[in-house]
Structure formats: structure tokens, C-alpha cells
Amino acid sequence: MARNSDQDRPDGSSLKSQCLGFPAILSLAIALVGPEASPAIGLPPIFAQSGNGTWLAFVIATIGLVFVSLNINEFASRKASSGSMYTYVAWGLGSIAGVLCGWALTIAYTFGGMAAISGSVNYVNVLLRSLGFQVFPFLIFAIGVGLAAFLAYKGIELSTILLLSIQVISVSIILCLVYIVLSKHGFAPDMRQLSLQKVSFQNIQLGLVLAVFSFTGFEGATTMGEEAKKPLKFIPRTVLITPVVVGLFFIISSYVVVLGFEGNQVTLDKSDAPLNVVSNLAGVSFFGVLISINTVISLFAACLANITAVSRILLTMGRHGLLHRSIGRVHRRNQTPHIAIALVGVLIFFVPALLSLWGTTAIKIYEYTGTFASYGFIMTYILVSVAAPVYLYKQQKLRAANVVISVLAVLFLLIPVVGSVYPMPPPPINKLPLLFLMLIVIGGGWFMWRGWRSPRLMEEIKRDAEG
């Protein structure tokens, strides 16, 4: 909900407007998803659930999230805002629902950043282990988060150029490995996977929960409403293209990695560096080192992208007074939300660093924080999918197709919701849904109390939503 005048801003400045073209916006969205993370670190737990149906779990996730993207674009094609789905949901369901959505999305991006930097730290240790030594994870967390926050502070254009370069290199390396593995197997179809050998519907359902998490963040372009050159054109295009392109990459890479593990003594679900194993089995072991280095950089880029996105959400909340007004300030020279970036950076560092001090491995921190982030994204996706037809109805533009798309998106999202609690996952994962609910209640209660103390805050959000 960007305001219309700079003089309304707490420090009289604004984000750098119309500075990002389509490639930069697309690179941010893809970096938020972090497609390299799925084959490099996310596949083992998905394979543990879905086995030979892993590729199918990604097919279903791709289709479902395309429906979600169509709902998001009902807003993104009409209005631009740095508040992302915080403002979209407010336009459809009112200010209270919008604030709850913004809080859920804040949790999602923050914990998504924690997951990304934890995955990066895991691969730093994989590299160092191959050299015969390791570094205390606390130090790596400090360096990684500190550098990501600094780049986010220096400027959005510098960040997106870096993200674009990293994504092109990362995806190219993995696709080269995909070609090598397929050629080694004579490009013959893997009938174990295509026939879904030993795969049940429940296997697919359980794997789908984690597959959906692999996509989370694809909507990140919506936070660039003030900084995009043609926001009503470039942002909707990015929101639709991202899940399709990333989904195809996930389907192909998961199929090939499962194929590449054929005959290996250590199964895929037990590996902490699956692409390294596949490289060794394919006879190109040097690819393993290259991919490890690339994964460290790519997951760092995902952390940077999450900091960039969540800082825009907090900026909007700060402007409205839901958080301290200082969080709504923009650095005059860099034109970045520097205080919001600093706050997020501290949080993203503190939680993983504390867990590492308690003896939790980086790969487990990735699993816990990534799962927690997925709850925030799924809640956000459900809210925006419900808000879309309501918003269109208010605009007298609702069609039957809009209702169908909304219903299909919500039904799809209910699969991972149910799968996250039934069957009950092992501890401590089983405690995460309750912890997430507690955070939503605490945050929602705080915002409602702020609204009760100062009714003009909710009126301001409502006025921005209507105008």
C-alpha cells in the first residue's frame, strides 16, 4: 500500500522507483524460490516420502501453484504496491485479513531466509570436509547473513544484478549434469519412476507437502511494486512464469537425480549432498565440487532475496504505524529500507546461530526453518486465493472462471495443510504447526490491539486499499 506522496513518508524519501526491468524482477522471484536448493538439498526428504513418485509430486505442485498465481495476478495486474499480498488481501477481504496475511508473509520470508543460509552453511561444511577440516557454523552464519544484509542495504539494482548472474550460472551447471546423467543411461526411460513402482497416493500426498515448500517465494515479485519499471505488466508476467519454469526444472532434475542414484549403496533419502553423489556416479566428480561451490552461492542469493522481499513488507507496515514508524524509513542515498533490513538480518542470523550452538546440524536447521516458512506461505496463498474472487465481485468483474480457479487453488493448498498434521510427523516437526499458530495469534493480537488503540491505523489501511 504505497502512499502517493513522498511527504507522507516518515523521512520524506521513497524507494527507488521504476528502476527494475523484467529480467531483474524475474531473477528476484527465482532467487526467492532458490531452484538449485531442491536438487542439491531438498530432494532427500521428498524422496523419503514419495520414492519413485517424486517427479509426480512436483508435477502436481506446479499445476496447483499456477492456479495460485492466477489468483495473485487478479491483483498484480490492476495495482502495484511494495506491500505484496499484505495489500492484495486487504483489497479483497479488508484490513484485518490483510494485516494477518502480511504477518504470515513476514514469518514466511524471514524463516525462508534462515533456511537458505542454513543450506548454504551445510554446503560450506561439505566443501571444507572434503579438504579435511571444518569451521564453526556460528561464524559462517554471521558472515553469510551480514554480507546478504549489506548487499540488500546498498541497493536493489546491485542485488538483482547479482541474483540474475547467480541464477543463470547455477541452473546451467545443474542442467549440464542432467544431460550427462541422461546420456550415461542412453536416454532410456526409467520405468520404475514412470510406472510409479511401489508408490501409493499417500506417498504422493506426503511428498507434496515438501514439494510445495520448494516453490515458496515464487510470488516475491509482488514486493517490487514501487521499483518495477512497468509493474502492472512485468510483475504479473513474472508471477505466472516463475512456477512454470521452476516447476519444469524441478520435474526434470528430480527425475534425473533419482535415476542417477540407481545402484548406489547410500540411498537418496540418506544423502546430504545428492548432486555430488550423482556427479561421482556419472564419472564427473569435478562437477561435485563445482556444484557445492555453486550451491553455497545460490543459497546465499536466496537469503539475500528473502531479506529484500520481507524488508518491503515491513516497510509498508511501518509506514502504516502497525510497527514502529522508523521501520517505514528509507535510506536517502541508497533508497532502501535500511532499518527493516537490519532488523530482518538480526533475526535471520539469531535463530539458526542459536540452534547451531545447541548442537543442531545445518541440514536439520534447513529442514526445520524451511518447513516453518512453508506454513506462512501456504496461509498467504490461501488468503489471496479467497480474496481474489471477493475483490473481483466488489469491482463487478467476477466471472465463473474466477470462482473455479479460486476453489481449485484452495483445494490444492489444503493437501499440504492436512499433510503437515496427518499423519503426525515425527518430533520436533510435529510441534512446528502449533508454534506457527501461536505466532499468528500473538502477531494478530498485537496488530488488533494497535488498531483498537488507534482506530486511524485501520482506517488508513482501509483508505489505501480502497484508493
Grade residue 187 by pLDDT with cuts at 50, 70 and 90: very high
Q: Express each pLDDT in 440-464 by its tens digit.
A: 999 988 887 877 777 777 677 666 6
Is residue 429 included in any domain, yes or no? no
What distance lies between CA 252 and its chain's CA centroid? Answer: 20
CATH number at residue 280: 1.20.1740.10
Q: Residue 294 is inside which H or E element, if any?
A: helix 285-320
Could you give phi then psi for residue 228, rounded to 5 degrees? -75, 145
Residue 434, pLDDT above cutoff 50: yes
454 neighbors 446 (Cβ within 8 angstroms): no
Q: pLDDT for 401-422, tens place per residue?
A: 999 999 999 999 998 888 888 8
Rounded CA separation 142/138 (Å): 6
CB 42 within 8 Å of CB 249: no
pLDDT in tens, 96-147: 898 899 999 999 999 999 999 999 998 998 888 878 887 888 999 999 999 9
User: For residue 306, what are the domain limits?
Assistant: 6-414
In a domain, 131, yes or no: yes
- In 150-287, the DSSP E strands lie at none
**C-beta of residue 33 within 8 angstroms of C-beta of residue 215:** yes
Q: How confident is the model at residue 186 (pLDDT cuts 50, 70, 90)?
A: very high
Per-residue CA distances from 177 to 39, 40, 80, 169 (Å): 11, 12, 39, 13
* Cβ proximity of 108 and 121 under 8 Å: no
Among all chains, which residue has been given the C-alpha cell 481474489? 388
Angle between helices 156-184 and 274-281 (to 10 degrees): 40
Given a contact cutoff of 8 angstroms between Cβ atoms, the answer to whether 267 and 52 are in contact is no
| Beta carbons of 295 and 166 less than 8 angstroms apart | no
Q: What is the pLDDT of residue 158?
A: 64
Report whether pLDDT(396) > 90: yes
3-state secondary structure of 107: helix
Q: What percent of the chain has pLDDT over 90?
A: 53
The answer as to whether 170 is a domain residue is: yes
Residue 348 lies inside a defined structural domain of this protein: yes
Whether 428 is in a domain gets the answer no
Would residue 46 count as lying in a domain?
yes
**What are the phi and psi torsion angles at 395 (to 5°)?**
-85, 0
- Asked whether the beta carbons of 21 and 234 are under 8 A apart, the reply is yes
Whether the predicted pLDDT of 13 surpasses 60: no
Per residue in 270-309, pLDDT (tens digit) is 887 899 899 999 999 888 888 888 889 889 988 998 999 9
Q: What is the mean pLDDT of residues 195-217?
A: 87
Residue 11: CB partners within 8 Å, gap ≥ 6? 329, 330, 332
Query: Which amino acid is residue 279, in one-letter code?
Result: S
Q: Does residue 40 form part of some domain?
A: yes
**Tell me, what's the pLDDT at 145?**
97
Q: Which pLDDT value is given to residue 405? A: 97
* Measured distance CA(221)–CA(237) in Å, rounded: 10
Q: What is the mean pLDDT of residues 45-73?
A: 95
**What is residue 228's three-state secondary structure?**
strand
Count of C-beta atoms within a 10 Å radius of residue 158: 14
Structure confidence at residue 465 as a pLDDT band (50, 70, 90)? low
Q: Which three cell numbers stand for residue 84?
A: 505484496
- Number of domains the chain contains: 1
Average pLDDT of the chain to the nearest whole number:
88
- φ/ψ of 48, rounded to 5, equals -60, -30
What average pLDDT does range 226-242 have in this prediction?
Answer: 92
Give me the mean pLDDT over the 253-258 stretch: 96
DSSP state of 20: B
Residue whose C-alpha cell is 514419495: 50
Burial of 187-208, coded b for 16+ CB within 10 Å and e otherwise, reads: eeebeebeebeebeeebbbbbb
Distance CA 119, CA 295 (A): 8
Query: Which of 292-301, 317-326, 332-341, 413-422 is most confident?
Result: 332-341
pTM: 0.89
pLDDT at 12: 44
Can you say whether the dihedral through the CA atoms of 392, 98, 344, 323 is positive or negative? positive
What's the confidence (pLDDT) of residue 10? Answer: 43
Within a domain: residue 466? no
pLDDT, mean of residues 192-216: 88
